[in-house]
Homo-oligomer: A and B are copies of this chain.
């Protein structure tokens, strides 16, 4: 496994769905950052299941313990270990997936990768529960970015084919998302409806999460290989169910003319900007100073309340599986803070590498 990401702000994920804990280690967070635990908990709360009718009924408390690297509410420069303890789970319902992999899940691939020694209970390392650790790290990354005035906001753009219009900068900054993580009330209603319909029919839906970063200056990024786009996309594909990532006008750029796609430069009072933002704030892997705009497409939750064809790994013959239990009919609402976390982690790393965040954030003591 390769459970670390980032160069200067290095995040290591750990824990399993039904193991003792889920957590994260951050190595490289500069000393002197004041940790806002309230903000951390609020971000965790957005990811927590059971907070609305459209998410799984599984109850997680997600109380986070900070076990190292923070002393008297400040980071010390040492590795920060953050954990949330798993409650006791009844893992017996997962016995069948040891031999009969659920379609669309990572049961089969994890079995192939780890020779059957992987902790299969609840999906193990491939479970969405692992993203609780991502959010812990993301909350710290966001706080680090805030010290230089950089904000990261994610929200839902589509669920089950119901799309929300592009939000205004005001809406983004206000960040008053609905229970499906959407900034548009009307689209939100349709999204709730499509999720509930899928749920009723024992099915699931996917969607699109968009994330915007405001305030990062031009000149951040490490081409040719450690580009802003490349590093954000790598981070986003670590989120279960993400199958596509696009920046700015994204896939639509493939059908545009150059004269339409190019973002023309303008200068107002000496500040350089662009008329449009089709590039999504990145050119040549380096930030332009305009908002970074990225979208991640999520496939529908693979766990559905229907019998599905699968195979029996022991006999290598065909079989059937019926995945019971309480599952999110749509993972997108809870994935919103996870996308935000991954983008924040990546940009905190790049901001540090670029020297934008000075080593010691507070006053020397």
Q: Which A1-56 residues have a C-beta within 8 angstroms of B?
A: 1-5, 7, 10, 12-16, 19-21, 23, 25, 27-28, 31-32
User: Is the CB of A158 closer than 8 A to any CB of chain B?
Assistant: yes
Q: In the complex, A259→B303 CA distance in Å?
A: 9
Would A265 and B365 count as touching, CB distance under 8 A?
no
Query: How many of A's residues come within 8 Å of B, CB to CB?
Result: 150
- Pick from A76-84, A146-154, A169-177 the stretch touching chain B: A76-84
Would A117 and B31 count as touching, CB distance under 8 A?
yes
Q: Which of B21, B75, B225, B358 contacts A234 (CB 8 A)?
A: B225
Would A15 and B104 count as touching, CB distance under 8 A?
no
Would A224 and B257 count as touching, CB distance under 8 A?
no
- Count the copies: 4
User: Is the CB of A326 closer than 8 A to any CB of chain B?
Assistant: no
Known: A243-B247, A261-B104, A283-B108. A253 touches B297 (CB 8 A): yes
Q: Which A311-365 residues have a C-beta within 8 angstroms of B?
A: 311, 316-318, 354-355, 358-360, 362, 364-365
User: Is the CB of A190 closer than 8 A to any CB of chain B?
Assistant: no
| Closest chain B residue to A302, Cβ basis | B262
| Closest chain B residue to A248, Cβ basis | B243
Known: A246-B297, A254-B298. A109 touches B2 (CB 8 A): no
